Structure 1
Amino acid sequence: MLRDRTDTRAMLWRVAAGQRGYFTAAQALEVGYSYQAQRYHAQRGNWLLVDRGIYRFREFADLPGEGDEQFVRWSLWSKGRAVISHATALAAHDLGTANPSRIHLTVPRGFRQKSDAVILHRADLKEGDTEARAGYRVTTPLRALAESAAADEDQDVLESAVAEALERGVVTRRRLLHAAQLLGPLAELGIERALGALS
């Protein structure tokens, strides 16, 4: 049975709505848009071509953003395998003064894609290390602090993030030290210095 074009658009819209208006060519194909139809919509300006195989409904681009729309785009780019992490996760959690120029993503060890716009970190994250947001995943505040210390993030940035996380009650000193120990001596040193600066 042939689907009505309005139904096909509505199905794609529902998918994209949970992803801040973004969707992949594969998702569009799944609901009934052939590759030829996808090219047509991109050429007509109905869909914005964001990256190879990633589109966004034009209507979403005109809405005021919440500041994390680009995280959804990178999640789709990675086929859902990348997690926002390190200093970018600190910024996503609004902890301290972190404002990295490139997006930090943690990906599985066998991940092959590359882009100059992101910094890739390879690690196998446990279930409790991440949390879901609308259209992407991000490391928890605890993990973000420890991994930022392990990556030798600027100490001032780390100290401001640790201070704010403790003040808001999202981490405890004990859990933070334990998380840092699990990531090695550099993480431990950075966290100990950040905690020491609070004394």
Structure 2
Amino acid sequence: MTAPSRTAGSTRLVATRPDTAPATTVRTTGALLAVGTVAWAVGMAIAGDHEGFGWQSLLGGATALLFQAGIARLLLLQYRTAAMGDGPLARGVYRLQGVFLAGAVVSTVLDTFWLLHGTPVWMAFDLCWPLSMATMVGIGVRVAIANRWTGSIRWTTLWAQSWFVTSIPVVLIVRDAGLWVASAQLISGYAVLGLLLARHETVRPTR
């Protein structure tokens, strides 16, 4: 495996496999993540803890799906650049997270149109959302430890992917006011990470 690369005044995403991510892929991933994050943060703050079908559920659902699309692209970029490492455990975690994220997407669709709410089917898919967010925390920690994503990108990834453990407890305690805290952490984490990726120029293995 190759070691992480550093250049003066910059950071670099270092791939350890031949299928490296081209610059356009990194930038489009970052743009989608930034836009999706801001959209969901605003949508969550406006819609609040609304129950039932209506414009609030449509707004919350549509923006959540856009955010989840950005998360999916982020995970794919991390996988392609071996951000957690290139071993079988890292690949297995990404595949498991893919299953959780797919279930979370189905949960979002069900909540958007208020379908099957309260049924065992709804509860099974609803469980995928906290599972996927909790797994993101573990991935973020491992990316920071692996140090293949360096500099500000490394630490912003850790901060962004800690969202579940830094914001959800606040939401559970103070409810609607906590949604503003969660929204602010989303923007300072995932949105900033998206901007950092969007302005990145190279993702290539070191020599």
Q: TM-score, normalized by length of structure 1?
A: 0.24
Q: Structure 1 or 2: larger strand share? A: 1
Higher relative contact order (CA 8 A, sep 6+): 2
Q: TM-score, normalized by length of structure 2?
A: 0.23
